[in-house]
A and B are shown apart, each in its own frame.
Chain A
Amino acid sequence: MIKNGTTDGNSTPARPRPLSPNIQIYRPQLTSVLSIANRITGLILSLGAVGLVIWLSAAAAGPQAYGVVQSVIGSWAGQVALFGCTFAFFLHLCGGIRHLVWDTVHGFELRSIYISGWTVVVSSVALTVIAWVISLLIAGWPQ
């Protein structure tokens, strides 16, 4: 007689079987970590898109409103947020291109999966640094 689970034949409510742990014990791997990273960066960029609309709306409202938004972006917190958005953008971009290649059924050998994965990590860091160095060279440090 099965006491627990689905069928025990008597009228006492069965104690549900325990669910074995999943994310609590499963080892993070490049596959799953980059997947969740792509998701989190997507969420960050969605917020960034809201920021873009605010920025455009402020600019449409006139120089004064634009100045306020620019000073927020120029602040210490604003620059950190912008830097985060830049990195999120490049990670999502590189990860997205990796996904587009997979959608053509290419690059599915484990070796390719890992090489492309690390390429995404390295190139998104590099592109973020390059973008910020160039922008700081053009504009100088924000006041």
Chain B
Amino acid sequence: MIIESSDRVSRLSWFKRFPIPRNFKVTPESRIEKGRTWPAPAYAKRVKAFEIYRYDPDSGGNPHLDTFHVDVDDCGPMVLDALFWIKNKVDSTLAFRRSCREGVCGSCAMNMDGTNWLACTRFISDMGTNATIYPLANLRIIKDLVPDLTHIFAQYAAIEPWLHSKTPEPEKERLQSPEDRSQLDGYYECILCFCCTSGCPSHWWNGNRFLGPAALLQAWRWLTDSRDEAKGKRLDALEDPFRLYRCHTILNCTRTCPKGLNPGKAIAEIKKAIVEREK
């Protein structure tokens, strides 16, 4: 009942999805059809079924859900290992992003059992009996589990995630006290996997204008940097009914962050800073 950290998987077995029709607000090209079932090899003793979202751009068809039966004794402990097993042994056309396989690159973010997380740090044993794997929610899909991140990276670029300074460049490094440096803790660690932005209902409905939790957490990371000299300009750019204030503190972001960061808190800090300079 009480979730203490974001790596805890919800144990509630009822109410796995909102009680709305499957095709609620789904446009024709996004409708998910039934796919095929891939059986486990005959020798497999312990088998786990994974329902996986598939989309082949070259087929001209719609996305579909394939069921793969994975030999758990033959593959590693993580969901990413299961994906590798499927790609190596069953269907080599399965497409997904991955790189570091240890939760630092943010490539393998996807939706597993209804929540966003990194496939490399989610245990297969933590997956439910009807394990489902979808790409990150609410993104245009290039192929299978590979979403088009162009827009959310552009939103990240929009907050100008670099140091703004008018003071002439010092000869050596720009100094920062240990206390000031500690202000960045909990914000600089973001790996831009976009689990939060993709899990934010406000971004689902207004993603074209609302910057989303990932970009706003980064915005605060620069706002709170003692070396940055563009606080006012940054706040001006953020103070907008949609860019910032579409955040209604739902906190799906904080619940889902695979690095245990707190985008919700970062956004609250930005709102507080805006009030502080006005009142």
**Touch test A–B (CB under 8 Å):** yes
Q: Which residues of A contact B (CB under 8 A)?
A: 2-5, 15-32, 35-36, 39, 99, 102-105, 108-111, 113-115, 118
Q: Does B258 contact A (CB under 8 A)?
A: no
- Dominant SS among interface residues on chain A: loop
* Shortest CB distance B194–A (Å): 12
Do the beta carbons of A22 and B138 come within 8 Å of each other? yes
**Nearest 10 pairs of A and B residues by beta carbon:** A27-B114, A108-B265, A22-B138, A17-B140, A18-B30, A4-B57, A35-B250, A31-B251, A22-B137, A22-B204
Interface band, chain B: 35 or more
* Contact call A25/B10, Cβ cutoff below 8 A: no
Which chain B residues lie closer than 8 Å to A19 at the CB level? Answer: 26-27, 29-30, 138-141
Q: Give Cα A104 to B269, complex, Å.
A: 8
Q: Which residues of A contact B138 (CB under 8 A)?
A: 19-22
The answer on a CB contact under 8 Å between A23 and B18 is yes
Name B120-153 residues within 8 Å CB distance of A.
132, 134-142, 147-148
**What is the distance, in angstroms, from B257's C-beta to the closest C-beta of chain A?**
9
Residues 189 to 217 of chain B near chain A (Cβ within 8 Å) = 199, 201, 204
Flag if A105 contacts B265 (CB, 8 Å): yes
Choose among B5, B18, B132 the residue with the greatest number of A CB atoms under 10 Å from its CB.
B18
Question: How many A-B pairs with Cβ below 8 Å?
Answer: 153
Are the C-beta atoms of B62 and A18 separated by less than 8 Å?
yes
B134 to A113, Cβ gap below 8 A? no
| Any A CB within 8 A of the CB of B42 | no
CA distance A115 to B268 in the complex (A): 19
- Separation of A5 and B150 alpha carbons in the complex (Å): 12
Binding site for A on B (CB under 8 A): 1-6, 10, 15-18, 20, 22-27, 29-32, 53, 55, 57-58, 60, 62-63, 111, 113-115, 132, 134-142, 147-148, 199, 201, 204, 248-252, 254-255, 262, 264-265, 268-269, 271-272
Tell me what chain B mostly uses at the interface: helix, strand, loop, or mixed: loop
Q: Is there an interface contact between B250 and A18, defined as CB atoms closer than 8 Å?
A: no
Does A108 lie within 8 Å of B255, measured CB to CB? no
In Å, the complex CA distance between A16 and B111 comes to 22
9 contacts between A and B (CB under 8 A): A16-B27, A16-B29, A18-B30, A19-B138, A21-B137, A23-B25, A25-B134, A102-B264, A105-B272
A114 to B31 CA separation, bound complex (whole angstroms) = 34
Q: How far is the CA of A18 from the CA of B132 in the complex (A)?
A: 18
For the complex with contacts A5-B148, A26-B18, A105-B272, 13 further pairs of A-B residues with Cβ separation under 8 Å are A18-B31, A19-B141, A20-B53, A20-B141, A21-B30, A22-B204, A24-B20, A24-B22, A29-B115, A99-B249, A110-B254, A111-B4, A114-B2
Q: What residues of A have a CB within 8 angstroms of the CB of B265 in the complex?
A: 105, 108
